[in-house]
Amino acid sequence: MEENRKVVLAYFYTYEEKETVAQVEDECIALCASCGMRVVAKTSQQVSTTSGFGKGKLEALKHTVETMEADAIVFANNLSIASAQRIGRLTGVEVMDRTSLILHIFSLRARTKEAVLQVEMARLQYDMPRLSLMKEQESHTRGGSFTNRGAGEMRSSILKRKYQNRIKQLKKEIQALEKEQNSAERRRTKTSFARVALVGYTNAGKSSLMNAILQEYGNSKKEVYVEDRLFATLDTSVRNIRYQTKEFLLYDTVGFVSSLPHELIEAFHSTLASARNADLLVHVIDATDPNYADKITITQDALTAIHAEEIPILRVFNKIDLVENKEAIPGLKVSALTKEGLPTLLQEILKRVYPEEISFVCLLPYAKIKLYHDAKKYMTFEILEEKEDGLLLKVSGPENRTRPFKIYQVE
């Protein structure tokens, strides 16, 4: 990890965005700190369009870089390829935009084989358009069109082909790992335990909350990694939780940030599948964050991006031990540190994933007897009579589980 790398934070914004400037800058400073970069100066400018800094502002930015002896410039915006290269040439230092910064953090955090492969693929997909610009520049340097290049092949074309081949290879390797994960997920599904995923803005305390639950109702020896920084871990963890005779699988997922780069959403679709396939999402919110309402919207947008917006969601405010006026915080409140509110949270989870049981009588055809055998793990049956055309059963269980038997219900 890079330590104490000095960077200048830059940001341009339109009139409509001026109210969120401080929030955007704070997030970007936190992202920089997450990978060991130290922001030594900040500069921003309101612009009429999203074209970025003008000539005078860029000259001032260059002066700031030289004065502060900065190693790089980090833009809180996303930059076009041409803009990033132009600013880099002018200032003489590396220029990173927001997506590039997040990709850099992810490359530092990747631990599992799948995460390493996913980050590499996201980086290659992000860099591919830059090869097209390189090709155009090579064409101008040589004179004439790029089709008239003689015996030698352009370096950009060779690199592009290498990138494409590597991306194909990475996709195959990731798909193979996904098959292994899907097999493991199918084994978990056969246990018929409900799946609950912790989601939320990065650094909201999801992992800390998971560990608090494990300490009280799971295996404390299986606590997950926790660090007070954005994107402390990229790996999804799953643990078994038992509360009041009921069990469920609890997933700790990677955190979200505003406008999560589409390269990462695409590359991490298998990692994010734990949220997409959950029976319930527990949205963890930092109660101490004055901008928590904006972070709620960010999380909702991210869930929509991964097609998980239809899954039932339970909002819970974490870090309530640090809030003076607790009554001002709406909804469910917990503290991963003091364990305050954990029993209530667990009760609310069970209420949603294991709803009240219903009972009825059905005549199950013998041709459908597999339904009965498969459901015995999580439902209660009483055989009332063995009839010629099927088993007369009294069925008891959660409404969602009893649905396949409803069509055979009899008076």
* Concatenated DSSP letters of 183-223: HHHHHHHHTT-EEEEEE-BTTSSHHHHHHHHHHHHS-GGGP
Q: Is the domain of 125 the same as that of 167? A: yes
Catalogue the long-range contacts made by 18-25 (C-beta closer than 8 Å, 24 or more residues apart). Answer: 18/46, 20/294, 23/291, 23/294, 24/76, 24/258, 25/76
Question: What is the predicted pLDDT for the residue at 283?
Answer: 95
CATH number at residue 217: 3.40.50.300
Note whether 252 and 273 are same-domain residues.
Answer: yes
In terms of domains, do 122 and 90 share one? no
Give strand pairing partners of 23.
Answer: none
What residue numbers bound the domain in which 26 lies? 5-96
Structure tokens at 96: 């990173």
The answer to whether residue 115 scores a pLDDT higher than 60 is yes
Write out the two tokens for 410: 């009899």
Other C-beta atoms lying within 10 Å of the C-beta of residue 143: 7
For residue 151, the model assigns a pLDDT of 42
pLDDT band at 146 (very low <50, low <70, confident <90, very high): very low
Query: Average pLDDT, stretch 83-108?
Result: 89
The predicted pLDDT at position 1 comes to 45
Classify 323 as helix, strand or coil.
Answer: coil
Residues 202 and 332 in one domain: yes
pLDDT at 110 over 70: yes
Give the pLDDT band of residue 145 (cuts 50, 70, 90): very low
Judge whether 104 lies within some domain.
no
Looking at the fold, whether 347 and 365 belong to one and the same domain comes out as no
Q: Do both 52 and 123 map to the same domain? A: no
Q: Is the pLDDT of residue 168 over 70?
A: yes
200-229, pLDDT tens digit by residue?
888 888 989 999 999 988 776 777 767 666
**Residue 56 neighbours by CB distance under 10 Å:** 9
The pLDDT of residue 338:
95
Structural domain contains residue 101:
no
- pLDDT tens for each residue of 348-395: 999 888 877 889 999 999 999 999 988 887 788 999 999 999 999 999
Average pLDDT over residues 13-41: 88
Please report, as a single letter, which amino acid is at residue 71. D
Q: 61 with 204, same domain?
A: no
pLDDT-derived band at 83, boundaries 50, 70, 90? confident
Q: Is residue 105 part of a domain?
A: no
Same domain, 217 and 333: yes
| Interaxial angle between packed helices 155-190 and 113-142, expressed in degrees from 0 to 180 and rounded to the nearest 10 | 160
Q: Confirm whether 53 is domain-assigned.
A: yes
Q: Are residues 265 and 362 in the same domain?
A: no
- Same domain for 245 and 165, yes or no, is no
CA–CA distance, 283 with 340 (Å, rounded to integer): 17
* pLDDT value, residue 71: 93
Say if 85 falls within a structural domain. Answer: yes
Q: How many CB atoms lie within 10 A of CB 136?
A: 13
* Pick from 335, 117, 329, 107: nearest CA to 215: 335
Q: Give CA–CA dist 118/39, Å, rounded.
A: 28
d(CA 117, CA 151): 35
Q: Provide, rounded to the nearest whole percent, the portion of the chain with pLDDT above 90.
A: 36
Q: Of 266 and 179, which is predicted with more confidence?
A: 179
Asked whether residue 63 is domain-assigned, the answer is yes
70-81: per-residue pLDDT in tens?
999 999 988 888
Total number of domains in the chain = 4
Return the CATH number at 23.
3.40.50.11060
Same domain as 157, residue 221: no
The most confident of 82-86, 179-183, 311-315, by mean pLDDT:
311-315
Q: Which has more confidence, 304 or 8?
A: 8
**Is residue 163 in some structural domain?**
yes
- Give the single-character DSSP code of 294: H
Asked if residue 77 is part of any domain, the answer here is yes
Task: Compute the distance between CA of residue 90 and CA of residue 93 in angstroms, rounded to an integer.
Answer: 8
Q: Same domain for 204 and 177?
A: no
pLDDT band at residue 27 under the 50/70/90 scheme: confident
Last residue of a domain, one of 154, 185, 216: 185
d(CA 269, CA 236): 12
Pairing of strands 5-13, 72-75: parallel
Last residue of a domain, one of 132, 167, 185: 185
| Residue where the block lists tokens 């999203």 | 50
Q: Mean of the per-residue pLDDT values for the chain?
A: 84
CB 319 within 8 A of CB 287: yes
**How many CB atoms sit inside 10 A of residue 66's CB?**
12
Q: Of the candidates 353, 386, 402, which is a domain's last residue?
A: 353
pLDDT of residue 172 exceeding 70: yes
Predicted structure pTM score:
0.72
